[in-house]
Amino acid sequence: MSFTVNPLSPVLGAEITGLDIAQPMGENLAKDIRQSWLDAGGLLVIRDQTLTTEQHIQFSRHFGPLFGAPGETPLQETVSRYLHPDHPEIYRVSNRVENGKPKGRAGAGTYWHSDVSFKQRPASASIMHAIEIPDIGGDTLFCNMTAAYEALSGAMKEMLAPLRAHHDFAQTAATQFAKPVVIEEDLKGDNRAIHPVVRTHGDTGRKSLYVNPGMTTGLDNFDDEESAVLLGFLFDHATQPEFTFRHHYRQGDVVMWDNRSLMHYAINDYGDQPRYMERTTSIGEKPA
């Protein structure tokens, strides 16, 4: 099976057309898709897909073990109420309410972040199927942390090289979740990690910044003020428009982003217009 790849912006992202990922696929095709994804800086939009939830999971398995799959690490307990009732690999993002219960997490990811960076082995691919999209709005912003890293001066790269940062779900919980929703167990240590500030991508060997405003709480061994200034600089630097791309969804898009080298931000500007997305999240390597 062949497919067409077109770039979406100079800094990151490509779209694939002419491909039906609902059908089981062999490793060669999966390898080609993976290579297109890496070549596009870690953001691939596969257009015009009609997928069942099972087909989405089957496709996602080509890109690594999935959070929530039987025998694998689950996502933090706090989001368990938003998982698909029959498929714990599927995190549902939605403002829809059905029978008085949220169909997914409303307003998820409305801040710059890299998925589950607070885990010892955080996410590599997140693969999101756009099932219902608003008429206007509901775009997602992506930021290329490899390009941001490469644009730093040699002196700054040298200073950052040995640094490590703390990532903690407690910060996300405090700023993004209403208090009764947060499950206290999630704050006790399983969702806390120290990672290098600059990581080397396991597939491409390229270096990226690996800190994000949503989950990074501070630099190891720095005092709070120093840490805030340095992280503030890195966040402002990385989110300059030149390093970002804004994805406007079409229904049926399957969007794959690489959390090892990107941050993303879901724009919550669509009010009551229904939006329903199903997402799988691959367990990546320990950042190094």
Residue numbers at the binding site for ligand SIN (CB under 6 A):
93, 108-109, 126, 140, 264, 266, 277, 279
- The token duo for 261 is 């080298």
Residue of 38, 264, 258, 237 whose CA lies nearest to 148: 237
| Closest chain position to ligand SIN (CB) | 109
Q: Would you say 231 or 266 has its CB closer to ligand SIN?
A: 266
Q: Would you say 19 or 266 has its CB closer to ligand SIN?
A: 266
Q: Would you say 35 or 175 has its CB closer to ligand SIN?
A: 175
Q: Would you say 25 or 256 has its CB closer to ligand SIN?
A: 256
Shortest Å distance, C-beta 266 to ligand SIN: 3
Shortest Å distance, C-beta 22 to ligand SIN: 22
Q: Would you say 25 or 266 has its CB closer to ligand SIN?
A: 266
Shortest Å distance, C-beta 275 to ligand SIN: 7
Shortest Å distance, C-beta 163 to ligand SIN: 26
C-alpha–C-alpha distance, residues 84 and 74, integer Å: 13
Shortest Å distance, C-beta 17 to ligand SIN: 21
Shortest Å distance, C-beta 120 to ligand SIN: 20
Q: Would you say 32 or 134 has its CB closer to ligand SIN?
A: 134
C-alpha–C-alpha distance, residues 35 and 12, integer Å: 14
Which pairs count as long-range contacts for 215-218, CB under 8 Å and 24+ apart, including other chains?
215/113, 215/114, 215/117, 215/118, 215/167, 215/168, 215/169, 215/171, 215/172, 216/117, 216/165, 216/166, 216/167, 216/171, 217/165, 217/166, 217/167, 217/168, 217/170, 217/171, 218/165, 218/166
